[in-house]
Structure 1
Amino acid sequence: MPARAALRNNRLATLPDSIRLMRELRQIDLRGDPVTTLPESLITLPRLEKLDLRWISTLDPPRWFSELEATGCVIYL
């Protein structure tokens, strides 16, 4: 079963940089959270396949998103 972090609708503004330690994480769902920043360390997650950021109007997509997509991660904005 894929490792998931379903964190949607929890009023999160960011994720801790320590998320980089979750090496088996495949999906992160932050839909509806008022996210303003994300740690660049998400790029280092080797199995991350999906980053769901739909329904978020508070985040300007960072430049490193293209690097994350290049690793095979699909980003839903």
Structure 2
Amino acid sequence: MLSLRMDGELLDRLREHAARRGMSVQDYVVRTLIRDDFDERFKTAVDETERFYGRAPDRPVPSGDPGPPGTGHGTAR
């Protein structure tokens, strides 16, 4: 169970967003939390993969460098 306190303005905005998607506010909030959690887990997995292959996440892939096999980095040949 999750309990949230929010002001009326935020609740109104959430109601509008949820209504556009044909969802309840509760379903909209839960779906947003799940999506954000997935995004964070995906980013962490990408960072760990890049560290494993020796490519720092803050270092851009040089042009023409295919990167490690199977990563899809670099330019297609």
TM-score by length of 1: 0.20
Q: Which has the higher contact order (CA 8 A, sep 6+)?
A: 1
TM-score by length of 2: 0.20
Larger Rg: 2
